[in-house]
Chains A and B, each alone.
Chain A
Amino acid sequence: MVEEDNTLMTTENSSLPQVPPELQDNVRLMPWDKLYNWSRKRSMWPLFTGLACCAIEFIAAAASRFDMGRYGMDIARASPRQADLFIISGTMTKKMAPQVVRLYNQMAEPKYVIALGACAISGGPFKDGYNVISGVDKFLPVDVYVPGCPPRPEALYNAILTLHAKITNEPISSLRWYQKDGEDEGIPVPVLGPDMVDWRLMYKVPPLERSK
Chain B
Amino acid sequence: MAEEILISQPTTEALSTLEQHFPGAAQPAEYEGIVIAPGHLGKVASFLRDQLGYDYLSLVTGVDYPEATAQFPARFETTYHLFRSKGGGPLVLHVHANRDDPVVPSVVGVWPGASVHERETWDLMGIRFEGHPDLRRILLWEGYEGHPLRKDWHEVYYEEEKKPFSSRHPEGRPVQAEERAPLGCNLRYPPDWSPDSWEPQAEMRVYAPMDEHVGDNGRSMPTDQVVINFGPQHPSTHGVLRMVARLDGETIQQLEPVLGYLHRCHEKIGERNTWLANMPFTDRLDYVCSMSNNFGYAVAVEKLMGVEVPERAEYIRVIMAELTRIMNHFVSIGFFTNDIGVYLTFMLYALEERELIIDLFEMASGSRMMCNYFRFGGVARDLPEGWLSVAKELVYERIPRRVEEFEKLCLENEVFRARTIGVSALPADVAVAYGCTGPLLRACGVPYDVRRAEPYSIYDEFDWDVAVGHNGDIYDRFKVRLEEMRQSLRILRQALERLPDGPIQSKKVQATAKVPAGEAYGRVEAPKGELGFYVVSDGTANPYRYRIRTPSFANLGVLGKISRGHLVADVVAILASIDITLGEVDR
Contact = CB atoms under 8 A, between A and B. Distances in A.
Contacts of A51: 239-240, 262
A96 B189 contact: no
Nearest 3 CB-CB pairings of A with B: A129-B265, A53-B287, A194-B145
A63 B358 CA distance: 14
Interface string B265-303: 110110010000000110010011000000000000000
B36 to A, nearest CB: 32
B195 A202 contact: yes
Contacts of A191: 200, 202
Given A96-B240, A125-B284, A193-B198, A91 B370 contact: no
Contact of A196 (B187, B347, B369): B187
B363 to A, nearest CB: 14
A95 B140 contact: yes
B355 interface: yes
Interface in A150-208: 150, 152, 191-199, 201-202, 205, 207
Interface in B196-221: 198, 200, 202-203
A160 to B, nearest CB: 19
Contact of B202 (A133, A192, A205): A192
B124 to A, nearest CB: 10
Interface stretch (A4-12, A13-21, A35-43, A54-62): A54-62
Interface in A79-95: 80, 90-91, 93-95
Interface in B161-215: 177-178, 182-183, 185-195, 198, 200, 202-203
Which interface class (under 10, 10 to 19, 20 to 34, 35 or more) fits B?
35 or more
Nearest to A48: B235
Contact of B264 (A132, A198, A201, A211): A132
B155 interface: yes
Interface string B116-153: 00000000000000000000000111011100100000
Interface of B: 139-141, 143-145, 148, 155-159, 177-178, 182-183, 185-195, 198, 200, 202-203, 232-235, 239-240, 260-266, 268-269, 272, 280-281, 284, 287-288, 347-348, 351-352, 354-355, 368-370, 582-583
B354 A91 contact: no
A126 B194 contact: no
Contacts of B192: 211
Nearest to B191: A211
Nearest to A97: B261
Nearest to B359: A65
Contacts of B264: 52, 91, 93, 126, 129, 131-132
Contact of A133 (B186, B203, B260, B272): B186
A198 to B, nearest CB: 6
A53 B240 contact: no
B208 to A, nearest CB: 15
Nearest to A129: B265
A127 interface: yes
Contacts of B203: 192
Contacts of B191: 211
Nearest to A119: B264
Interface in A45-80: 48-53, 55-57, 59-60, 63-65, 78, 80
Given A52-B583, A103-B233, A207 B269 contact: no
Nearest to A203: B195
Q: Select the residue from A132, A205, A212 with max chain B CB neighbours within 10 A.
A: A132
A134 to B, nearest CB: 6
B302 to A, nearest CB: 23
A103 B234 CA distance: 11
A57 B287 CA distance: 10
B143 A193 contact: yes
B366 to A, nearest CB: 12
A55 B370 contact: no
B347 A130 contact: no
Chain A interface helix/strand/loop/mixed: loop
Contact of B177 (A93, A134, A150): A134
Given A48-B235, A196-B187, 17 more contacts: A49-B233, A55-B239, A57-B368, A63-B355, A93-B262, A99-B232, A99-B261, A125-B269, A125-B280, A125-B284, A126-B266, A127-B157, A132-B186, A134-B185, A150-B287, A195-B187, A201-B183
Contact of B262 (A91, A197, A205): A91
B235 A128 contact: no
26 contacts: A49-B233, A50-B239, A53-B284, A56-B288, A60-B355, A93-B262, A95-B140, A96-B262, A103-B233, A127-B177, A128-B159, A128-B272, A129-B264, A129-B265, A130-B148, A130-B265, A132-B265, A133-B186, A134-B178, A149-B370, A191-B202, A194-B193, A195-B145, A196-B187, A209-B182, A210-B183
Contacts of B351: 59-60, 63-65
A131 B140 contact: yes
Contacts of B348: 63-64
Given A63-B352, A198-B187, A95 B194 contact: no
A93 B188 CA distance: 15
Given A48-B235, A195-B144, A95 B260 contact: yes
B273 to A, nearest CB: 10
B232 A96 contact: yes
B262 A150 contact: no
Contacts of B156: 130
Contacts of B148: 130
A59 B348 CA distance: 10
B204 to A, nearest CB: 11
B104 to A, nearest CB: 24
A95 to B, nearest CB: 5
A111 to B, nearest CB: 15
Contacts of B182: 209, 212
A94 B194 CA distance: 19
Contacts of A65: 351-352, 355
A90 B583 CA distance: 10
Contacts of A96: 232, 240, 261-262
Nearest to B203: A192
Given A55-B239, A64-B348, A93-B264, A201 B233 contact: no
A110 B291 CA distance: 41
B327 to A, nearest CB: 11
Contacts of B280: 125
A91 B281 CA distance: 13
A150 B358 CA distance: 14
B371 to A, nearest CB: 12
